[in-house]
């Protein structure tokens, strides 16, 4: 006979109803109690009924995909369709389908994930980002459900996780060093949302390259952008109010496109007055005026690898974990 909810309750010294509430992530249960119950679940190998059936039979044929920001904005960013194309290519060869669950904000996102998993609709989940404090990752980890992250879950300090990512510290160093080697002196940066590990790591790489070259970072030339091109545009305007850097590192090509537009609106020429470099190597980069120097991060390969890792995790079980680093490649054009 398998492990029951009563076994978990006894091991954690709580009632079965408390275990049930922990599974549903009820706010009525303290974090200390949740931690104790989830530890007991992991040690005993307990899965809630709907999941247990799915994990045993592995026959739903569905893989869940969770997008990292609300309102399906990711479908408009060139990275995510490419990553999804890679995921789909692998799942198609294994006769599996993708199940999306819409969410308008982070609270709805968590509820949507729990609905998807606890109803037994999916055999595993792909998370397309990693936050520094990520409730989706910690919840899936706590119940031993198969999942993979496109992103580095390092800040969470959890073991036995499958993930794939670029070396984003390396990318931040690479693009900053490229500008330094070109002779630029006062180099600023436009980052994305610093709740996301990818942006933190690229910022860290920028700082490391500047320090290694004996250059100080100027906070007046550092700005955090909202998503999309307008975010880069507004961030660049804020920087230009403080002076004129000789070059700008942007952690995303869309930020770079917005920054170029802001510079032009203020009468600056790219790359002669200000050099600009991006990351992602999206399709329009080569058609910009001037064409944008960027880093190819291989979004298709990230998605493909994520799907392969998840299928192995589903097949082998909780003891399987792995991480894969896909290195970026600098694509030189004329914006620096």
Residue-wise pLDDT tens digits, 69-110: 544 455 578 998 999 999 999 999 999 999 987 666 778 888
- Which helix (H) or strand (E) segment holds residue 240: the answer is helix 228-241
pLDDT value at residue 231? 94
Range of the domain at 153: 62-167+300-329
Q: Could you tell me how far CA 126 lies from the centroid of its own chain?
A: 11
What percentage of the chain has pLDDT greater than the value 90?
A: 67
- Strand, helix or coil at 303? helix
Nearest C-alpha neighbor of 83 from the set 335, 282, 331: 282
- Give the whole-angstrom CA distance, residue 318 versus residue 312: 10
Contact predicate 112/103, CB 8 Å: yes
Sheet (strand 147-150) strand order: 97-100, 62-66, 124-127, 147-150, 162-165, 323-325
Contact predicate 203/172, CB 8 Å: yes
The verdict on residue 232 lying in a domain is yes
- Are 85 and 120 contained in the same domain? yes
- The residue-averaged pLDDT of 223-250 equals 95
pLDDT value at residue 96? 94
The verdict on residue 336 lying in a domain is no
The verdict on residue 57 lying in a domain is no
- Are 312 and 250 contained in the same domain? no
Domain count, the chain: 3
Burial of 32 (0-12, 13-18, 19+ CB in 10 A): exposed
- Are 139 and 182 contained in the same domain? no
DSSP string for residues in 149-194:
EES--GGG--SS-EEEE--HHHHHHHHHHHHHHTT--SEEEEE--T
The verdict on residue 237 lying in a domain is yes
The verdict on residue 121 lying in a domain is yes
- Are 174 and 151 contained in the same domain? no
| Confidence band for 327, pLDDT divided at 50, 70 and 90 | very high
The verdict on residue 31 lying in a domain is yes
| Confidence band for 55, pLDDT divided at 50, 70 and 90 | very low
- Are 178 and 221 contained in the same domain? yes
pTM of the model: 0.84
- Which helix (H) or strand (E) segment holds residue 205: the answer is helix 197-212
Count the alpha carbons within 13 Å of 155 in the hemisphere toward its beta carbon.
15
- Are 160 and 173 contained in the same domain? no
């Amino acid at each position: 006979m398998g492990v029951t909810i009563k076994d978990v309750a006894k091991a954690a010294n709580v009632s079965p109803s408390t275990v049930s509430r922990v599974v549903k992530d009820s706010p009525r249960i303290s974090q200390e109690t949740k931690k104790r119950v989830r530890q007991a679940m992991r040690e005993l190998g307990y899965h809630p009924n709907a999941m247990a059936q799915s994990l045993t039979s592995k026959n739903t044929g569905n893989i869940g995909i969770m997008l990292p920001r609300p309102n399906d904005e990711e479908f408009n960013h060139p990275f995510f369709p490419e990553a999804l194309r890679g995921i789909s290519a692998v799942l198609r060869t294994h006769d599996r389908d993708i199940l999306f669950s819409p969410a308008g904000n982070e609270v709805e996102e968590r509820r949507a994930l729990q609905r998807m998993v606890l109803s037994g609709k999916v055999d595993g989940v792909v998370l397309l980002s990693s936050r520094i404090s990520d409730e989706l990752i910690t919840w899936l980890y706590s119940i031993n459900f198969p999942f993979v992250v496109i992103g580095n879950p390092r800040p969470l300090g959890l073991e036995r996780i499958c993930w794939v990512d670029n070396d984003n510290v390396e990318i931040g160093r690479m693009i900053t060093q490229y500008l330094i080697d070109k002779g630029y002196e006062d180099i600023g940066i436009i980052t994305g949302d610093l709740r996301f590990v990818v942006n933190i790591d690229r910022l860290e790489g920028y700082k490391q390259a500047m320090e290694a070259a004996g250059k100080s970072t100027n906070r007046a030339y550092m700005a955090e952008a909202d998503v999309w091109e307008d975010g880069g545009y507004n961030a660049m305007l804020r920087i230009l109010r403080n002076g004129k850097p000789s070059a700008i590192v942007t952690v995303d090509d869309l930020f770079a496109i917005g920054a170029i537009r802001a510079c032009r609106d203020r009468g600056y020429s790219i790359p002669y007055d200000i050099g600009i470099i991006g990351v992602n190597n999206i399709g329009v980069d080569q058609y910009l005026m001037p064409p944008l120097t960027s880093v190819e991060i291989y979004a298709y390969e990230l998605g493909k690898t994520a799907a392969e890792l998840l299928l192995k995790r589903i097949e082998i079980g909780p003891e399987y974990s792995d991480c894969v680093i896909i290195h970026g490649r600098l694509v030189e054009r004329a914006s620096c």
